[in-house]
């Protein structure tokens, strides 16, 4: 089993080839190939660990689509003061398909 741990937009994500993942919005067109270079760890036959990143490792990915996550409701209330606020937020996400782990 091969996998990699990559830093994408402030989050560390465990990636495996031939799978798709949702990450924070990446401003690229659908179908664009990109290379992720902030690779922290790669496990193929051997384990490669970066301090903090691996110099020659990269992840080849393709942008599948852009979408929004489920709505998160934020409700503020102060009892006995007639203060109520209800807000919602939908995070913009991008679906990435991991093609290959290169080291």
Residue 1 is predicted with a pLDDT of: 85
**Res 85 pLDDT > 90:** yes
Q: Cα(5)–Cα(57) distance, rounded to whole angstroms?
A: 11
Residue 3 is predicted with a pLDDT of: 95
The mean predicted confidence, pLDDT, of the chain is: 94
Q: Cα(6)–Cα(77) distance, rounded to whole angstroms?
A: 39
**Res 97 pLDDT > 90:** yes
10-31 pLDDT tens trace: 899 999 999 999 999 999 999 9
Please enumerate in sequence order all residues whose Cβ is within 8 A of that of 49, keeping only pairs 6 or more positions apart, or say none.
40, 41
**Res 9 pLDDT > 90:** no
**Res 103 pLDDT > 90:** no
Please give the span between the terminal C-alpha atoms of the chain, in angstroms, as a whole number: 15
């Amino acid at each position: 089993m091969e996998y990699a741990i990559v830093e994408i937009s402030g989050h560390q994500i465990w990636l495996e080839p031939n799978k798709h993942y949702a990450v924070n919005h990446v401003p690229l067109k659908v179908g664009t190939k990109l290379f992720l270079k902030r690779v922290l760890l790669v496990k193929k036959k051997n384990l490669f660990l970066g301090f903090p990143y691996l110099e020659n490792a990269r992840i080849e990915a393709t942008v599948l689509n852009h979408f929004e996550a489920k709505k998160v409701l934020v409700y503020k209330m102060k009892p006995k003061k007639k203060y109520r606020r209800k807000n919602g937020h939908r995070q913009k996400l991008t679906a990435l398909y991991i093609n290959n782990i290169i080291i």
